[in-house]
Amino acid sequence: MNAPPAWRDSVRIVAIDPCATYRRAVREALPNAVIVADHFHVSRLGNKAVTDVRQRVVRETQGRRGRASDPIWAARKRLLRARERLSPQAYEHMIADLTGNDPTGHILIAWTAKEHLRALLATAKTGGQRHDIAHRLDRFYSWCAGPGADIPEIQRLAGTVNAWWPEILAFLLTSVTNAATEGTNHLIKDAARCAFGFRNLENQRRRVRWACTRRQRQTTS
């Protein structure tokens, strides 16, 4: 890293995706910085576990991939939606579909594990109280070790949370996230995608700058 030592020593917190390579690089380049696991990517791990369980259950019970006519496949988007964003009718419909079409019960168990993980991450919004964090973490692990003990996807999720717990705890205590950086990166990719690529570097810079500063610009007549 070519940055001067004074600049590196001034970096206190670094928010990253849950990636071992990123973590190792930050520890080598910025040994004094606190590493924070971005909560969006941690929550996405829970969604991925739900999707993996759903796909496995369909393959094992139906002997094929999911189809549009399958109730479990039709409920795939509800499974990834936050519980508080589901209407009472949508929630009841989802539970009925899973209860009547998943003989293993694994999908509902995975969905509940995902919601326990979201509840744990939500403690950052309430100030990151230690007793609240401990309570939510215990509920998540207890669910994974209880109903989810025989589900490999849930065990893998619990293992990942355990391996990244210092970084997840750092987020819960600081609420630092790289959401702004992720949003800017998304705008940059969208600009290149809408233009079907750029052959002129200066045009690319102008287009990206225009896309990323639209909130700061004031409309003029």
Q: How many CB atoms sit inside 10 A of residue 33's CB?
A: 16
Mean pLDDT of 169-192: 89
- CA dist 168 and 152 (Å) reads 22
Is position 73 within any domain? Answer: yes
- Encode pLDDT of 41-59 as tens digits: 999 999 999 999 999 999 9
| The predicted structure's pLDDT at residue 66 | 85
| The predicted structure's pLDDT at residue 217 | 67
Handedness of CA 96, 79, 55, 159 (dihedral sign): negative
- How much is the mean pLDDT over the chain? 91
- Encode pLDDT of 179-188 as tens digits: 888 888 888 8
pLDDT surpasses 50 at 216:
yes
Supply the range of the domain harboring residue 206.
179-212
pTM of the shown model: 0.85
- CA dist 105 and 60 (Å) reads 13
- Reported as a pLDDT band with limits 50, 70 and 90, residue 6 is confident
What percent of the chain is predicted at pLDDT more than 90?
64
Residues 48 and 152 in one domain: yes
Structure tokens given for 80: 């990834």
Residues 144 and 183 in one domain: no
Is position 74 within any domain? Answer: yes
Is position 61 within any domain? Answer: yes
Residues in the chain: 221
| The predicted structure's pLDDT at residue 221 | 46
